[in-house]
Every structure is written in structure tokens, then in C-alpha cells.
Amino acid sequence: MGILRPARMTKVGLIGLRDDESRILSLLHDLRIAQIETLPPAALAELVPERGTETQRAIGDEALRFRGLKNALPPAPVGPPRRFDSVEEILTAAKAVPIDREVGDLKREDDRLTSEERALDERLGLLGQLAFYPDRLEYLHAQSFVSFLGEGTPEARTRIGTLVPPEADAQFLDDPATPGRFLVSLKTQQADALTRAAQGSGVKLVAVPVLAGTVPEERSAAESGRRKAVLRRAEIAARLGAIAAQWYGTIAAIDEALQVEARKIEVLSKLGAGRTTFAMEAWVPDRDVGRLEALLRRATADRCYLYRVATTEEPPTLMDNPRGVRLYEFFIRFYSLPQADEWDPTFVFALVFPLFFGLMLGDWGYGLTILLVCLWMIAGFPGAGKLPKFGRDFVKRIMSPYGMRSLAYTLIPGCLLAIGLGLYWDEFFGYALFQRLFGYIAPSNLHANPGFVGVLLLFAGFVGLAMVTLGFLFGLLKEYFHHHLRGALGKLGGLLFAWGIAFFGLSLIHPKTLGALTSAGFSFSSPLFVGYLALMVVGLLVLLTAEGVMTGAMSIIEVLSHILSYTRLVGILLASIILALVINTIGGGLVVGGTIVGIVIGLVIIVIGQSFNVILGVFEPGIQGARLIFVEYFSKFYSGNGRPFRPFGAARTHTVSTVSPDGLTTGPILQSPPT
């Protein structure tokens, strides 16, 4: 398990007998540790691509058939995983399933009834609107005229009556119970004129369907037809349930086995084949090469040869962080996947992002609120169905449920830190709650001690210096390991300049603290001050020498701005506190005023304003905290644009895996070894 580097990858080659090919691919599928690559042209020149067989085509046909059967049947309890010892056994089991015709007929009938039920629902809705029409509906249609049901405002109803041309011979019947609803019959050739008039008046028109009886008669017939459709659909569902109870487990197992075989067929184009042998290449985590070789030899009775391939290709990236740190890979993948041979920044991100988030939030009321929302997201949004639909749709457009859950996990440490700092600073939705209730004045309370802001700014500056330093160190090591000595020298110069300029500036602001103050007062000749100046000058010269004048000058500005950029940690904290103070002052003043109207308005201001500040408390610390890492820290060493590691295979649920739970011994494998 790696922390600061992606998992080390090794490219391996494999030569085996074609009799063992299915067995080997099954093992690789279930291990899920090998990304199979297309053989290079030099190897393919000596081999030929694999060609499809009748068995492979049969697998494709059956896989399509069983995927349809599985989707058509309702899920049912499934027994223990089923074992298949050969491809022939899978195909034999597939041919023994006799339910295709019945399931197909039932599903087609159910689809037809669903469409019929939907049409009847629409007809019932229209008939409900036509309840004011007393005559038979067949009178509304003839070869020479058509009828429409219209609905709009009363003013729109009046306007459309004046817009329809006289030659249309339009006859209107208004609904006395619903102003603006009307029935209109007119000549067929003037229907377009009515449509244009409706569009100009804001009236919704619906063509009256061709029906024979009165509205009550047609409604009774539609309700009867709908009841029959619902009853028949219930019978179909019951029959499909009975079929599923008998066959779903078998179908699920065969479907999974066929999907495994289909995946194996898909990778055959990347392999090369001889008359009796085949060859492949794959990327495998270096730590798994030995285990893979042992399992392959055991599965094939030592009839295969696995070897490491010397290559200059860029390996795929497999991030391999501990479980808690792995949650923050979400942010790294969102930005850009690291290359396989560079630093993995996830561990540092997992340490500093919660620190930045909690410091910028800094209020235990906001922290507790966001923490509860995070726990609600992790629980799967229970009760979210009662929220307004537009709000739910908006959230879904922003991020998937899985992404929301991952984000919630990463925010929890920051919320806990914000709660701790808020308690220490006595900040509760912008109120000094402990001071008001108990008379306790926290020494670090920003309301009672505004001078503490300077301490926070100094802390933010040192945080910026630490992050820039760490970025330069990683960049220096990266350049050194890649044998870019000039680049490593440039990173060293940036590092020295960062420390020199930081302490040079701080010695001017805090001479007593940083050693520039002597018994006679401030002195430019103080040894420490001279040391800071020398460090800055040396770093500047090294940076300009390594990167050139133009690039070096830009790097100087970048170093200084990146360190100062971390003062936004305090700026966003103060902005949140000031906004909360404004909300509380205005809303609280109206509430204390005593009038009913003032109390209501004040409470509305407090609730809406604090809700808005909570939303800002998620987005501002989250976005700005990630930005400080992505820009000011990543820019020193991070390239990104890595190629993700996509291992061949998928998990089995309904069939027996070729790999036992201990991962060391092989279980049943498709296609028994030859004798």
C-alpha cells in the first residue's frame, strides 16, 4: 500500500498453450490485477490475431438472450453461487432454459397494456374537463368540421373569439364552472387559423378524440377498460413472479457466466496466437507479479511462462492509499490523475484540506449544521422525497449520489475541526454565545479581541510558507529522480528564495520575534536579518541561473503571491463572521423591536440569511481550500494527465470464482486441463 506514490507497475508478458487460454483468462478475470494490452507490432509479426469461432458467436447470442431474460423478470431470491466447469456446460445449461416464448409474450402484452392504460388515463382526464358538454360526443366530429377543448384565462378566451375569422363559422361553448375553459367547433379547413389564434392568445388547445357516447358513458367505458388492463397486468406480474421464483437464480448464474466469457472474447483481439500457443502482455502491480505467476503455474500445471518486459512506456496509474485517505482521491481524480512515476498528492490533500476547511469555517453552529447534512447525505438522503422537486433535480445535476456521499465523508473532519475552533473562539452563527450566557470572554474571540486577527494572519502566512516549501521539495525530488538537474536547481532556488523573502519580510514586521531587534533598536546589520537577506539573494540568483531571466522573474512573483495567497484562509473566515454579524444585527434588532411585523421580518432575515451563510460555508471553504492546494501547491511538482489502471475482469456474484477467498489457491476453472 502506497502513500506518496502510486502503486509501482510492471509490464509482464505471458506465453501459454492455447488449450489453457480460457483457463488463464478466467483466472486473470477473477484476480482483476492485470490490464491487458495489445501486443506490439514486432510480436504480432510472428503471431496472428485470434479469430472468432462458432462457440464464441454462440456465447454472444446467448449473452444477449439471457441479459434480456434477466431484465424482463422481477428480481427473486438467488441460491448459492453455481459452478460451471466448461464453456460447453454453460451453453448446455442456457439451452435448457425453456421460458423465452412465454416471457416474451407476457412482456409484449404488458407493454401494450401499459400504453393502453396511459392512453385511457389521458382520455379520462380529457373527459373530466368535458363534463360540461351535455350531448353525445359523436356530434363534435364530421367531415366538414372539427372540435377542440381550449383552456386559458378569461381574457384569453375573449381574445381568441375575436381572432378566429368569421368564415370559420366557429361555435363556442363555455364551461360555467371553470372560466376560461371552452369547447369550440369550426370548419376543418380553418383549424390552422384557430391554432394561430390560440398561440397568440396564450390558450392551450387539445383536439377532442372521436368518441360516440355521452361524456358519462365514455368515462364509464374508459374506467372499465382501465380496470381490465390493470387486472390483466397484475396477472402478468404474478405469472412473471412465479417464473422468476423458479428460474431467476439459474438465469442470473448463466447470465453472469456468459458475461465473463463475453469479456474474455473481447480481449482476444489484443492477444497473438500461434498454432498451439498464444501470447499476451499486461500491466500488473509489481507487488502482485509473484502471486500471479504462482497462481498461473498452479492453474496450468506449469505449462505457461510469465516474464517481465523491459519497456519505456508510461505505465497506467493505480493510486493505492490507505482506506481513510482513499476518500480524498475523489478530489485528485476531479483535478487530474497523477502519472505513474510522479508523486501522489492525495495523502497531503487529506491532511491539509480539512485544516483549511475548518479554519475558514471557524463556527461551531455552522460546523454542526454542515456535519448533520453530511451524515444525512451518507445515510442516503432519507426523507428527501418530501423536498421540492426542483431542489432534488438541481442537486442531481450537480453531482451523482455516489459523488455526494464521497464529498460528505471528506467534509466531516473539517466540520469537526470547525466545531472545535468555534467552541474555542466562541462563535455560534456569529454570536458570542458563551459570553452572552455565562459571561465568559474567550481570549481568542474575534469580537472581543480584534487584534487576534493579526495572529491568525501570521499563522496563515506560515501555513503558506510550509505548503510552498513542501511543493518545492516534491518538485526538487521529482526533477532529481528524472535526472533533470537544471530543473532540480530551479526548485532549490525557489525554495531558498521563499524562505528568504518570508523571513526578510516578517523581520521587518516583527523585528523582536525574528531577531532583527538589538539593544539599540531595529538594525539592518543584525546577524539574523543579514542571514535572511543572504538567503533571499542566493535563492534569487540560483533561480535566475536555472530558469533564465524571464522565467525566473515570473517565478519570483509566483513564489511571493503563492505564500500571500494563503492569507485568504483568514479572509474567508472574517467574511463569514462579518456577514453573520450583519444578519444578526439587522434581524435581531427587528426582533427586539417588539412589533409583530418586525419580529416576523427579523426572523425571516435571520433564517434566510443564516441559511445562505451555511451554503457559503460549504462552497467557499471547500472551493478555496481545494484551490489553494491545486494552484499554490500542485504547481510546484504536479503534472497529472495520468492513464488510469483498468484491470481486466469484474466481481462474481452468482457463479463460483476461480480464486478462493484467500487469493492464493484456485477454485473451479472453466475448461478442464487436458490430460
Distance CA 376, CA 370 (A): 10
What CATH number corresponds to the domain at position 170? Answer: 3.30.70.250
Kindly state whether residue 297 falls inside one of the protein's structural domains: no
pLDDT on residue 121: 94
Within a domain: residue 90? Answer: no
> Residue 109: inside a domain, yes or no?
no
Please indicate, yes or no, if residue 287 is contained in any of the structural domains.
Answer: no
Q: Decide if 493 contacts 546 (C-beta within 8 A).
A: yes
Residue in 308, 227, 214, 576 with CA at minimum distance from that of residue 427 = 576
Assess if residue 212 is contained within a domain: yes
CB 602, CB 306: distance < 8 Å: no
**pTM here?**
0.79
In angstroms, the CA 5 to CA 497 distance is 27
Q: Give a yes or no: residue 47 inside a domain.
A: no
- Which residues make Cβ contacts (< 8 Å) with residue 27, sequence separation at least 6? 295, 296, 299, 658, 659, 666, 669
Q: How far apart are CA 168 and CA 192, in angstroms?
A: 10
If you ran DSSP here, which 8-state letter would residue 96 be given? T
Compute the Cα dihedral for 97, 98, 102, 108 and give only its sign.
positive
Cβ–Cβ < 8 Å for 383, 338: no
d(CA 319, CA 304): 30
The crossing angle, in degrees rounded to 10, of helices 596-627 and 401-425 is: 110
Kind and range of the H or E run holding 206: strand 204-207
CB 99 within 8 A of CB 247: yes
| Domain total in the chain | 1
Q: Which residues of the chain carry a pLDDT beneath 70?
A: 1-2, 49-52, 384-399, 442-448, 507-527, 529, 661-675
pLDDT at 512: 57
Give the Cα separation of 202 and 186 in Å (integer). Answer: 19
The helix (H) or strand (E) run that includes residue 354 is helix 346-361
State the DSSP code for 156: H
In a domain, 660, yes or no: no
pLDDT, residue 45, reads 78
Q: 560 forms bridges with which residues in the sheet?
A: none
With beta carbons less than 8 A apart as the criterion, state whether 249 and 78 touch: yes
Cell of 237: 406480474
pLDDT of residue 595: 82
Output the DSSP codes for 553-588: HHHHHHHHHHHHHTTHHHHHHHHHHHHHHHHHHHHH
How far apart are alpha carbons 597 and 116 in whole angstroms? 55
Tell me which residue has cell 366538414: 144
Q: What's the gap between Cα 575 and its chain centre?
A: 30
Q: Which domain holds residue 142?
A: 117-225
State the virtual CA torsion across 435, 438, 443, 444 in degrees, nearest 10.
-50
Please write the tens of the pLDDT for every residue from 203-246.
Answer: 999 999 888 889 999 999 999 999 999 999 999 999 999 999 99
Q: Do 29 and 266 contact (CB within 8 A), yes or no?
A: no
Residue 552, pLDDT score = 80
364530421: which residue's cell?
142
pLDDT given for residue 673 in this prediction: 41
Question: Residue written as cell 483498468?
Answer: 646
Let me know if residue 658 belongs to a domain.
no
